[in-house]
């Protein structure tokens, strides 16, 4: 490949269109990109929508391990030296559009086009940092603070571009799985956040910037939280 063709390669354009070894796929909410145990033979690039990665234990218990948004790669384990099976299940939270790239095509273009391999490396580093932050959060923070962080991540605070007004539809059971607590505790915390003005709820959940104080500064107004009413947020 010539230097001129390398300079004109645009990874954003490449990831936006179908071509040899890649195709656009649309998924409905709750539809799976792939399931745990499937052959790891492709990578997805999320063009629109929100998704999640879950794992199921031998006992059948499911846990959500990360949330996915626009610009994320999904199923990068397929690029391992020895292809194997999917280690998790990727499921659409909202309607999603993704580019499905075969393992062979992704490896080929990463070898030829440094712009794409650099982009992919930055994604992997960001994913690694996020995983470490999730582990620290789980080990050292209270379940209330973990919930605040998950809501901020779902609202995409800190990411460039225009932030979504509402977070994707999510149940209290799913939130409880993500932070390692019970639905009743999530219900209590969500109503506390609403009472304190950190979130609004009218069919959809809207997260306010003030919730950052809970995560960054560990600040709560001095309220008697035991007396706050616990109203159902479905």
| Claim to verify: residue 90 and residue 150 sit in the same structural domain | no
pLDDT of residue 25: 97
Range with the largest mean pLDDT of 22-36, 57-71, 79-93, 131-145: 22-36
Total domain count, the chain: 2
Instruction: Give the pLDDT band (50/70/90) at residue 204.
Output: confident
Q: What percent of the chain stands above pLDDT 70?
A: 86
**Mean pLDDT over the full length of the chain:** 86
Q: Residue 24 — very low, low, confident or very high, per pLDDT cuts 50/70/90?
A: very high
Residue 83 lies in a domain: yes
Query: Are both 177 and 107 inside the same structural domain?
Result: no
Among 77, 94, 113, residue at a domain's last position: 113
Residues 101 and 195 in one domain: no
Predicted local confidence at residue 26, as pLDDT: 98
Do 87 and 159 belong together in one domain?
Answer: no
**pLDDT attached to residue 157:** 81
Contact 76, 103 (CB under 8 A): no
Tell me what pLDDT residue 83 has: 80
Are 195 and 101 part of one and the same domain?
A: no
Which of 209, 68, 233 lies closest to 148 in space, CA to CA?
209
In this structure, the answer to whether residues 108 and 145 fall within a common structural domain is: no
In a domain, 81, yes or no: yes
**Residue at 233 is within a domain:** no
Same domain, 108 and 149: no
The neighbouring-strand residues paired with 139 are none
Q: Domain of residue 193: give its range.
A: 141-227
Q: What share of the chain is helix, strand, coil (3-state, %, to 5)?
A: 40, 20, 35
Quick one: 18 and 97 in the same domain?
yes
Residues 148 and 222 in one domain: yes
Residue 58 makes CB contacts below 8 A (sequence gap 6+) with: none
Q: What is the CA radius of gyration of the chain?
A: 20
- Whether 133 is in a domain gets the answer no
Domain co-membership, 83 together with 176: no
Query: Does the pLDDT of residue 185 top 90, yes or no?
Result: yes
Cα–Cα dist 42/25, whole Å: 13
End-of-domain residue from the set 96, 113, 130: 113
pLDDT surpasses 80 at 233: no
Task: Tell whether 165 is covered by a domain.
Answer: yes
Answer yes or no: is 99 within a domain.
yes
Is 234 within a domain?
A: no
CATH number at residue 36: 2.60.120.10
pLDDT band at 161 (very low <50, low <70, confident <90, very high): low
The string of pLDDT tens digits covering residues 57-99 is 889 888 888 889 999 999 999 998 788 899 999 999 989 999 9
Residue 67 lies in a domain: yes
Closest CA to 75 of 102, 48, 44: 44
**20 and 62 in a common domain:** yes
Does 89 lie in the same domain as 163?
no
């Amino acid at each position: 490949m010539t230097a001129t063709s390398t300079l004109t390669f645009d990874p954003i354009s490449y990831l936006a269109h179908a071509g040899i070894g890649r195709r656009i796929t649309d998924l409905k909410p709750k539809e799976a990109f792939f399931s745990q145990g499937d052959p790891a033979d492709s990578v997805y690039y999320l063009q629109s929508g929100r998704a999640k990665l879950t794992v199921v234990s031998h006992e059948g218990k499911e846990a959500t391990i990360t949330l996915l948004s626009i610009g994320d790669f999904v199923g990068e384990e397929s690029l391992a030296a020895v292809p194997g099976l999917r280690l998790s299940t990727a499921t659409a939270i909202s309607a999603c559009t993704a580019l499905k790239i075969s393992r062979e095509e992704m490896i080929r273009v990463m070898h030829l086009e440094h712009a794409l391999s650099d982009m992919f490396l930055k994604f992997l580093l960001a994913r690694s940092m996020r995983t470490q932050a999730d582990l620290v959060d789980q080990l050292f923070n209270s379940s209330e603070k973990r919930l605040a962080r998950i809501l901020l991540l779902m609202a995409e605070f800190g990411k460039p571009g225009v932030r979504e007004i509402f977070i994707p539809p999510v149940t209290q059971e799913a939130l409880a799985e993500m932070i390692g607590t019970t639905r009743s505790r999530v219900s209590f915390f969500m109503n506390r956040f609403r009472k304190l003005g950190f979130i609004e709820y009218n069919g959809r959940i809207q997260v306010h910037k003030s919730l950052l104080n809970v995560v960054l500064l560990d600040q709560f107004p001095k309220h008697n939280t035991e007396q706050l009413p616990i109203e159902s947020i479905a």
